[in-house]
Structure 1
Amino acid sequence: MFSFLRGDTSLHAAMSDIGKKYTHNEDSFFLPEANATWEISEAAIEASGRLYILCDGMGGGNAGEVASSLAAGWIARDFYAEPLTGREPTERLAALVCETNTALHALATTHEAYKGMGTTLVAAHVRDGAVSLVAIGDSRAYLFRDGDLRQLTEDHSEIWPLYKNGSLTKEELRAHPRSHVLTKALVVTETLTEDDLFMATETLEDGDFLFLCSDGLTDMVPEEEIRGIMAKKKKIAWKAQALVDAANRHGGRDNITVVLVRV
């Protein structure tokens, strides 16, 4: 099965697709649903809020898939291991991302099959009318509100500074030949600190849509087309499918994963 849909509820939906170029999928995601593999219960989710994670693995073979799936699973497991009290969600997530990086780096250096693996990561915690974001690499979080689409995260890529200083438009950034050259990702170095991560908190409003995506979507589909899909008065699962279909229609040169959240 080359694509799959999960979490088709009024709150969230996620879809991951292999695309048209590769023979395996190195993207992974986590939805806030009871999960026996990672020892996560509905009670823990109720106590600590909704956590969404998307990872885009790198490294070839199955190494990228291992990096992305373990990163998402380990962070979710440890986040829900105890109630969220006394610390801001961004701080808790950032600490877990740094700890997971160290553990994955140790795995990569002690197992030949995993040598050179890595992954991007974007995590979003939703509770009490706010979203807390932590990201590294070029997987993104967006907010769709009242017809407007806004990127919430910043890319850790070689050419992102050119976009920030106005030298490139978003479309020029998308088409740039060095758009895939990352400056930061998980597992690349033995240690990470919070300074290496993108961290932010945004206030949410009723009717907002939050979505996470891998670059398999944003490299293929112009943001204006993404905005048009999100503006359709359709079910959340339809929007997830339509975004993936658009990426494949534009060439599908990478794995494509989207996680959509209704506020």
Structure 2
Amino acid sequence: MNKNFISYAVSHRGVVRELNEDAYIELNKYNIWVVADGMGGHEAGDFASQLVVDVIKAEVEELPASSISTEMLIKAIKSANTKLLEYSSDFLANKTAGTTVTVLFLKDNKYSAIWVGDSRIYLYRANGLLQLSRDHSQINDLIDEGLLTEQEAINHPLANVITRAVGVQNELSVDFVEGDLLTDDIFLLCSDGLTGELNDSEISIALGPKNIIDSGMALIHSTLVRGARDNVTFILVKNEKSDNSNDKTLTNNDLTVPLLLSK
């Protein structure tokens, strides 16, 4: 696997919550990074987020790095979904133990962003920030239906209501996007504790220096200063070098939304 990637992760309980229901893992050996956010208000949100992370890790480590694929990671998420439903049935009297999950996988100068729920994956390229994932939320559904504008969606009472999560339904649809990987690309995986406090413009400014440790410290500091009403977890991943020959002509035109796919 490519060894040109560096990552930096932060997970913080925040200022208000007593428990951190987020989980994450950096599988640098396989160029895989995962963030999960247990569903607040439900039973065992912290267990749910850790379980999906653990299942992905276990299934990845059973295979040689050359065999890892987007499809394999999606199957691992669906396996975690089954395990969470079984846990809910056996130990929680069928109460929901749910979690979001977002996964970044880098291989052969390609990226794959995989997700369920409203935890996000961003790409920072050519001083521009692009949200690769699309929240599975009631707010986004209302926007898609033309019933709400993006401006009206800010601070809307339905802002935290998600429409898809791991551990909620037997049939789980997992979305993903894929694209070319370029030198100096920075990816941000995060729970909504970050995006609930900072908007895209503020995130972009924090990523501007392109030193991901400095950027990470700026992100967590800004979030805590804002009050950090939720748990905050994020991973920054930077591609230090790529074999793609078109890197020298990189402009904001290279920052386009890839085709959304589901499995």
Whether TM-score is above 0.5 comes out as yes
Q: Check if 1:251 corresponds to 2:219.
A: no
CA RMSD, Structure 1 to Structure 2 (Å)? 2.2
* Structure 1 residue 105, shift from structure 2 partner: 1.0
Q: Check if 1:17 corresponds to 2:12.
A: yes
Task: State which of 49, 67, 70 in structure 1 corresponds to 2:48.
Answer: 67
For residues 76-225 of structure 1, the aligned pairs below 5 Å read 76-84=57-65, 89-112=69-92, 115-164=95-144, 167-169=148-150, 172-192=152-172, 196-225=173-202
State the AA in 1 paired with 2:238: R
Q: Secondary structure at the match of 1:120?
A: strand
Q: Structure 1, residues 13-61: CA drift from partner, whole Å, max 9, x if none? A: 000111111011000001015xxxxxxxxxxx3xxx3110000002558
Greater displacement, 16-25 / 61-70 = 61-70
Greater displacement, 246-255 / 180-189 = 246-255
CA contact (8 A) 1:51 1:76 kept: no
User: 2:213 maps to what in 1?
Assistant: 237
* Structure 1 residue 139, shift from structure 2 partner: 0.1
* Structure 1 residue 218, shift from structure 2 partner: 0.7
Q: Check if 1:52 corresponds to 2:17.
A: no
* Structure 1 residue 85, shift from structure 2 partner: 5.0
CA contact (8 A) 1:130 1:204 kept: yes
* Structure 1 residue 83, shift from structure 2 partner: 2.1
* Structure 1 residue 222, shift from structure 2 partner: 1.2
**Structure 1: 5+ residue runs without aligned partners?**
1-8, 34-44
Q: Structure 1, residues 191-216: CA drift from partner, whole Å, max 9, x if none? A: 32xxx111111211001101100000
Provide the TM-score with structure 1 as the length reference: 0.82
Greater displacement, 107-116 / 153-162 = 107-116
Assess, with a 3 A threshold, how the Cα gap between structure 1 residues 27 and 132 changes in structure 2: closer, same or farther.
same
Greater displacement, 61-70 / 243-252 = 61-70
State the AA in 2 paired with 1:14: A
Q: Structure 1, residues 53-99: CA drift from partner, whole Å, max 9, x if none? A: 00000255871111101111111220221125567x22111111111
**Structure 2: 5+ residue runs without aligned partners?**
240-263
Take 1:218 and 1:19, find their aligned partners in 2: how far apart are those partners? 13
Take 1:163 and 1:144, find their aligned partners in 2: how far apart are those partners? 24
CA contact (8 A) 2:186 2:238 kept: yes
State the AA in 2 paired with 1:160: N
State the AA in 2 paired with 1:19: G
Q: Secondary structure at the match of 1:24?
A: coil
Q: Secondary structure at the match of 1:249?
A: helix
CA contact (8 A) 1:26 1:62 kept: no
CA contact (8 A) 2:43 2:92 kept: no
User: 1:29 maps to what in 2?
Assistant: 24
Aligned residues: 235
Provide the TM-score with structure 2 as the length reference: 0.82
Q: Secondary structure at the match of 1:31?
A: strand
Question: Percent sequence identity over matched residues?
Answer: 33
Q: Secondary structure at the match of 1:14?
A: strand
Q: Structure 1, residues 196-248: CA drift from partner, whole Å, max 9, x if none? A: 11111121100110110000011111111111111125x31221121122122
State the AA in 2 paired with 1:243: L
* Structure 1 residue 113, shift from structure 2 partner: 8.6
